Amino acid sequence: MPDHAATESTTGSVLTWVPPPYAEPGRFSEHEVTVGTGPVAVPGTVSVPRGQIPGPGVVLLGGGGPFDRDETCGPNKPLKDLAWGLASRGTTVLRFDKATYAHREVATASDLTMTQEYMPYAVDAVGLLRRHRSVDPERVFVLGHSMGGKIAPAVATAAPTVAGLVIMAGDTQPMHHAAVRVISYLATVVPDQVPPTTIATFQRQAALVDSAQLTPSTPAADLPFGLPAPYWLELRDYDPVAIAAGLGKPMLILQGGRDYQVTVADDLARWRAGLANRPEADIRVYDADNHLFFPGAGPSTPAEYAYPQHVDPTVIADIADWLSHCKA
């Protein structure tokens, strides 16, 4: 499920982010970089482990929507958790503001597509890490969360030097279908927040995306999340699993068992089926985790994102271990 929905807010909070227990700031330093070129370049941060020989590097890609480099969601910063946790364990990490966050003209462009939103920045970030003094250029990986995970296989195609992928809650169900599923789920767990007309609206918009009536000139107001028609025309035919299956690169695919936006049944099942004969694909489920890989109990709801939490320490440890042992 995309992160454009009201289930994830990028608004600020009076609560202050504090480092997770597994982050050890004394073990790494950070510096700023520019990702991309020209007037729509974006700022980023590189987290660099102290005093070690060149090792793995990871480019982080956030979920769908205008996220900053930390994927700030209320008081939480899951990509910063990942960056600090992995840098504490020997991996150089580059994260950057999405162009839709840094540049209003990108976010409101009538021809915006997922490729335009992610690809030039992700490919440039891979190149930046390959040239970084702390990184072995043959060990640069892409880690994508949610829509960042969806596009990660395409990034590896565009940047063949990518050594492997980490895909966290990467959605594979067509996004407009997922939108209907998610809003229907929310109507059962927070019925006071989802009027019946909202479900009908998403159903009507999804039907338009599926139809032959969708053209580049279809008004964005008639489509899910107000995204322009070119975005949906591209997504309608995009198959991340098929692209991943053709890569022949190591992949670590992670899924939260309590995630209602990207689910075991609707999304992970497609990864499992499409990569069933691919020994390079390592698929793991964290039963207690939600979409942001925050542990919890019971049915997941949007309210979980409103109080301070951190990415599951087991997830951090598993990614760090996989990166340290991965052979491209």
9 is catalytic: no
**12 vs 129: CA distance, rounded Å:** 30
Which residue in this structure is represented by tokens 């075991």?
264
31 is catalytic: no
**214 vs 230: CA distance, rounded Å:** 9
Query: Which residue type is seen at 143?
Result: L
259 is catalytic: yes
Q: Is 54 helix (H, G, I), strand (E, B) or coil?
A: coil
Active-site hit among 291, 300, 310, 312: 291
**178 vs 275: CA distance, rounded Å:** 21
Query: Which residue type is seen at 325?
Result: H
Q: Are 123 and 159 in contact (CB under 8 A)?
A: yes
Q: Are 308 and 17 in contact (CB under 8 A)?
A: yes
**DSSP letter assigned to residue 123:** H
User: 141 CB contacts (<8 Å, ≥6 apart)?
Assistant: 56, 57, 58, 59, 162, 163, 164, 165, 166, 323, 326
Active-site hit among 70, 97, 124, 259: 259
Query: Which residue type is seen at 292?
Result: L
Active-site hit among 146, 176, 266, 300: 146
Active site positions, annotated: 146, 259, 291
